[in-house]
Structure 1
Amino acid sequence: MSAEFGGPIGLRGRLARWLRGSGPTQTADAGGREALLLAAAGAGLPLAPAAHPAADYRCSCDRVGCPTPARHPVSFAWQTQSTTDRAQIERWARHQPQANFITATGMTHDVLDVPLEAGREALDRLLGAGVEVGPVAESDDGRLLFFTLTRGTPEDEDEWWPCELDCHPETMDEHPGLRWHCRGSYVLVPPARLPGDDGRSVHWLRGPEHPLPDPLSLLETLTDACARHVEAFGL
């Protein structure tokens, strides 16, 4: 699932530079933003345009009191709209220069979404044990996102095995610990801006050039870290 981005002066080189330079307080310029989005799509993550922050912590959408400002798709048809097509993503990025982007989960990939401190602990343990960890994004609202292969989309719906960790956009508040984003869900994909005047963002810790792992290879370590996090903070 790892994408090939060409020679060192092509997209791969630009991606590497922006991954080194991007961080919680730095936003990629137009060229860097587009390179990061194309890299994500090239790695098989289907993208669709999302809302972006507006003044006074508001959302760019026209919904009064938007409950998830700058964190939701623009279109209600985001599941069918999501694509990895390079030309379409270039058009979106250039015509909507302020837009965030979401990636629809459950098509080619899932996301294991955990509290930041638990995620950092788990990431250190996984890397220390030599486990293949794929792309990891950090969200400055206190979450770490582990991108994995999907559990699959069987043609026979009876073959689908539900999980009590499954998370959908409307159930986010019900999953303060580990959230498993699969079919019918989405997450913001870097680079994305969050509301506020402090430059908060969603940014890569490990970029989409890392192959997507089997989610079960990460799950035990993540759930253990989340359990310790809940116990330590009395959540």
Structure 2
Amino acid sequence: MGDGKGRFRGTENGLSWESRLPQWLRRRPKDIDPGAADSSREDLLLAVASAGMPLAPAAHPVSYRCSCDRIGCPTPGRHPVSFAWQTQSTTDRSQILRWAQGQPQANFITATGMVHDVLDVPLDAGRAALDRLLEQGIEVGPVAESTGEGEAGRTLFFTATRGTPEDEDEWWPCELDCRPETMDEHPGLRWHCRGSYVLVPPARLPGDHEVYWVRGPELPLPDPLTLLETLTDACARYAGEVEANEALDEERHQTAWPMGRR
């Protein structure tokens, strides 16, 4: 099981990822043993499916570009391959293995709002919030990190869904959680529910970045409301620190380049 610190360690049906996955993630593609890499990747994808989270294939990075045909793709390696990803998403092990083996470079997304939601926050805010939640003894479910600079670095908290998938009319549309008027109250927080998706580990991103488990998908999914206050507090502190740093940078810039007198 995930230990709350470090990358995912776990087993399913006797399979172990502890020794193989971290080595695979740290090695450059040309140095990877294809057999070991494929096995680790497939094991983790099947673990996600076994937890009830539906999967669908996603694009992957080609250097700093995207494997899709879109020129200037704004989210290289971060989006589904098919426009029908919501209906295509599945937990069927045979189908997932066919996708994984037929598309060995592909990342995978999980469609949210069916079984689970994801609370998505800036990386530093998420790490601080996770430490605080664990110190308080609050049950935290699966957690993944997406590395990258600035807003590209994110922490993903997987939770039970607050929607009611059995009654489609009652599902929450994800767009409601991302409207600009909500951002002042919860700066930096994205709530992925119906109509949204996130990448699942192991995923490769441009610039040698990646998505990996901090706490594994075998953990029970908590109610998102048990995490929300701590996450929003951490996001508010993070936003304040970013604003203060930007003001300091601006002050230093003005000092270094003073305006000439007229």
The TM-score normalised by the length of structure 2 is: 0.76
Which structure is richer in relative contact order (CA contacts within 8 A, separation 6 or more)?
Answer: 1
C-alpha displacement at 1:44, in angstroms? Answer: 1.0
**Is residue 82 from structure 1 mapped to residue 89 from structure 2 by the alignment?**
yes
Query: 8 Å contact 2:56–2:90 — kept in the other structure?
Result: yes
Alignment of 1:81-120 (within 5 A): 81-120=88-127
Q: Deviation at 1:183?
A: 0.3
Q: Distance in 2 between matches of 1:63 and 1:133?
A: 38
Give the number of the structure whose residues are more often helix, by fraction: 2
1:172 corresponds to which residue? none
Tell me whether 1:144 sits opposite 2:144 in the alignment. no
The number of residues matched between the two structures is 218
The answer to whether the aligner puts 1:35 opposite 2:46 as a matched pair is no
Percent of aligned positions that are identical = 72
Post-superposition shift, 1:210? 1.1
CA deviation profile, 1:63-96 (whole Å, cap 9, x unmatched): 1111110000000000000001000000000000
Q: In the alignment, which of 17, 20, 24 is matched to residue 19 of structure 2?
A: 17
1:127-206 alignment, distance < 5 Å? 127-141=134-148, 142-153=153-164, 155=167, 157=169, 159-160=170-171, 166-167=177-178, 177-196=188-207, 199-206=208-215
- Tell me which of 209, 218, 226 is aligned to 1:217: 226
Residues 117 and 4 of structure 1, relative CA distance in 2, 3 Å threshold: closer
CA contact (8 A) 1:50 1:99 kept: yes
**Per-residue CA shift, 1:83-128, capped at 9, x if unaligned?**
0100000000000000000000001000000001110110000000
- Answer with 1 or 2: which has the greater Rg: 2
Q: Does the CA contact (< 8 Å) of 1:111 and 1:182 recur in 2?
A: yes
Q: CA deviation at 1:152?
A: 2.1
Summarize the Cα distance change of 1:58–1:76 in structure 2 as closer, same or farther, 3 Å threshold. Answer: same
Of 214, 225, 236, the residue aligned with 1:227 is: 236
Task: Report the Cα distance in structure 2 between the residues aligned to 1:165 and 1:119, rounded to whole angstroms.
Answer: 22
Query: Structure 1's 39 and 156: CA in aligned 2 closer, same or farther, altered over 3 A?
Result: closer
Give unmatched runs, 5+ long, in structure 2.
1-9, 30-35, 180-185, 247-262
Partner Cα separation in structure 2 for residue 95 and residue 81 of structure 1 = 16
Deviation readout 1:30-56 (Å, 9 max, x if unpaired): 10000011001111111000000013x
What is the CA RMSD across the aligned residues, in angstroms? 2.5
